[in-house]
């Protein structure tokens, strides 16, 4: 069964996979995605785990301690859905994940368990879930943005993520911003600039 989801057509050959945070849904990241890349196609599923009645993409044992087995299982289901959606909706590649918080961790789960699915990832306030080497991500661009006052993500996550991603061959770029868990205008500017630089806008589709 496919999760509840939205597909919004775009005008260029790029698809953003939107992965919301805890308590969000398939509409939560639409304004951010349109601000970052107005012409992109958008594929936005709702997380299928529930925590105290609100959606997530996978379970956690407690704050900051992720259920890695559930992450693996949910990543498998999400990857199958995305592959089907790309074909069924005729969505173009490159496919870039835009994930926030729990959604950013799910994007890392896709990179770890299904490394060929994504062509890049933009990670907002992720943890580093795995603590071990990633599979080969040769040349895959990944941007991660963290806050140095984030109560949910320790600052040392920046070093761990860079080491894991670069060790797998990814083109990792990370920034530790003067911010908490909430996003700031600096997040928006950095993310927008990275997308434009790494995935330059192509010809507009009719």
* Annotation says 5 is catalytic: no
> How is residue 70 written in tokens?
């559930």
94 phi/psi in degrees, rounded to 5: -70, 155
* Annotation says 181 is catalytic: yes
Q: How many angstroms separate the CA atoms of 22 and 24, rounded?
A: 6
For residue 131, what is the DSSP state?
Answer: -
Residue 74 near residue 58 (C-beta atoms within 8 A)? yes
Q: Which of 44, 49, 113, 150 is catalytic?
A: 150
Q: Which of 41, 101, 113, 187 is catalytic?
A: 101
Residue 86 near residue 16 (C-beta atoms within 8 A)? no
In a 3-state reduction of DSSP, which class is residue 173?
strand
Distances from the Cα of 97 to the Cα of 62, 65, 114, angstroms:
25, 22, 13
Beta carbons within 8 Å of 65's beta carbon, 6+ residues apart: none
Q: Which of 5, 114, 175, 181 is catalytic?
A: 181
* Annotation says 101 is catalytic: yes
- Cite the active site residues: 101, 150, 181
């Amino acid at each position: 069964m496919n999760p509840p989801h939205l597909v919004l057509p775009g005008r260029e050959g790029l698809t953003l996979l939107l992965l919301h945070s805890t308590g969000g849904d398939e509409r939560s990241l639409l304004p951010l995605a349109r601000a970052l890349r107005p012409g992109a196609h958008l594929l936005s599923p709702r997380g299928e785990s529930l925590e105290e009645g609100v959606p997530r993409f996978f379970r956690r044992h407690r704050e900051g301690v992720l259920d890695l087995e559930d992450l693996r299982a949910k990543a498998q289901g999400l990857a199958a859905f995305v592959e089907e959606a790309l074909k069924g909706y005729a969505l173009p590649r490159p496919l870039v994940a835009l994930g926030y918080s729990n959604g950013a961790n799910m994007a890392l789960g896709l990179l770890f368990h299904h490394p060929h699915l994504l062509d890049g990832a933009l990670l907002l306030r992720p943890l580093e879930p795995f603590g071990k080497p990633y599979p080969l991500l040769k040349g895959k661009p990944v941007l991660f943005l963290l806050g140095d006052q984030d109560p949910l993500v320790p600052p040392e996550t920046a070093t761990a993520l860079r080491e894991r991603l670069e060790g797998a061959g990814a083109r990792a770029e990370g920034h530790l911003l003067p911010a908490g868990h909430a996003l700031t205008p600096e997040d928006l500017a950095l993310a927008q600039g990275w997308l434009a630089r790494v995935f330059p806008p192509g010809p507009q589709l009719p």
